[in-house]
Amino acid sequence: MPSPYRAIFGRPGTLSFSAAGLLGRMPLSMMGIGIVTMVSQLTGRYGLAGALSAAVALSAAVLGPQISRLVDRHGQRRVLRPATLVSIAAVAGLLLSAQQRWPDWTLFVFAACAGCVPSVGSMIRARWAELYRGSPRELHTAYSWESIVDETCFIFGPILSIGLSTAWFPEAGPLLAAAFLGVGVFWLTAQRATEPVPHPREQHSTGSALRSRGLQVLVVTFVATGAIFGAIDVVTVAFAEERGHKAAASLVLAVYALGSCVAGAVFGLLHLKGHASRRWVVGVCAMAVSMVPLQLVNSLPLMAVALFVAGLSIAPTMVTTMALVEEHVPRSKLTEGMTWTGTGLAVGVALGSSAAGWVVDVAGAGRGYLVPGAAGALAALVAFAGWRRLRPQPLVPAVPSASAAPLLGTRLASEEQDGERVG
């Protein structure tokens, strides 16, 4: 492991909570595709399977920030364990109702409750932020490491979920995902020494973290970014099926995640200068440009190469986003702020996959890659439009006139306090 990564794991407990986070995040890449595989095998109804997967994703998008807000106030252990038990119970109900052929409405009830799942990635990043607050170099490396962990989940999670559900029994993929969630969360919350200090209600300002103008830009951009990811998943499966190799779609998508993983590993080694907002805009634009070659490719091997290149811009952009969230959201709402970016991604994935599926049905897989191209262009436009909200606002001290000099001593304390609030 390169020396910057060795350095961040020098603190006691860091390796343990990061490993727990890996297990707790596996359902992020396993649950949706596992539900699709399970329901399609049991019922043969792909429309129902896709609708249930979308219901879980949208439920998590709605409930996730609320869970994270409670975590900021009461601590990870007190909130994550009961929320996880609710989610696991709902997944169990979903599997049972699908296996027993209960009415469709029961499936959607359990799918909605299954969305009560903690944003484990945000919990892990909050721990890194607590440990390395005031050390931007180490925090940059830590966020890069967590992006590598994210992409590792997306490389192996779908293959594991689909493989078990098809080779063992239909419910195996979602069942294993729920087991990973339970083990990961309970292992994580048992580690009290690295848990961020909660901020009780009386220490909170009114309103949500989403009131931050900078966070609003990040979330809206991530809706468009999520549409890229959701559309690529759907269209790549259709692209592979049209060429008679549907099973190869999982490998092609794994290469996409591998590109992001490699970029994240290299990005964590760099010592970058300048404000993060500029790097973030460049990263979003790079994602948009990388969608163009997908329109020109006609074979699976070339598509794998194009997606690998497209993946190179993902992890650096995600790492920079977390740095901007930390800058624009109060410390007492950091976990909630990080979760809102995940919510934007989840909403975008649902929209992008739906739009891509419609285009594929109407015009074929080749035209389907226009959807992630349009989503990338939209993300770049939003990033450019909101860039000013993300840049640091310099303090411009007023120059007192001669007549105002006697008042300088009485106003000094007030001006210092204002400067602290702005900074």
Domains of the chain: 1-195 (1.20.1250.20), 211-392 (1.20.1250.20)
Residue 406 scores a pLDDT above 60: no
CA dist., res. 223 & res. 358, Å (int): 19
Residue 267 scores a pLDDT above 80: yes
CA dist., res. 313 & res. 417, Å (int): 40
Reduced to 3 states (helix: H, G, I; strand: E, B; else coil), residue 313 is coil
CA dist., res. 40 & res. 157, Å (int): 19
> Tell me, what's the pLDDT at 2?
52
Looking at per-residue confidence, does 393 or 219 come out higher? Answer: 219
- Tell me which range, 28-42, 72-86, 332-346, 396-410, is most confidently predicted by mean pLDDT: 72-86
CA dist., res. 209 & res. 72, Å (int): 11
| pLDDT tens column, 297-312 | 888 899 999 999 999 9
Burial grade of 22 (CB within 10 A; 0-12, 13-18, 19 or more): middle
312: amino acid identity, one letter: L
Cα 211 to the center of its chain, rounded Å? 20
Q: What is the value of pTM for the model shown?
A: 0.75
Look-up of token digits 């029994």: 169
Residues 6+ apart with CB under 8 A from 260: 147, 151, 311, 312, 314, 315
Q: Which residues of 155-181 are buried (b: 16+ CB within 10 A; e: fewer)?
A: bebbbbbbebbeeeebbbbbbbbbebb
Instruction: Judge whether 323 and 278 are in contact, CB under 8 Å.
Output: no
**pLDDT (average), residues 65-81:** 87
Token duo for residue 372? 């992630």
Mean pLDDT of the chain: 81
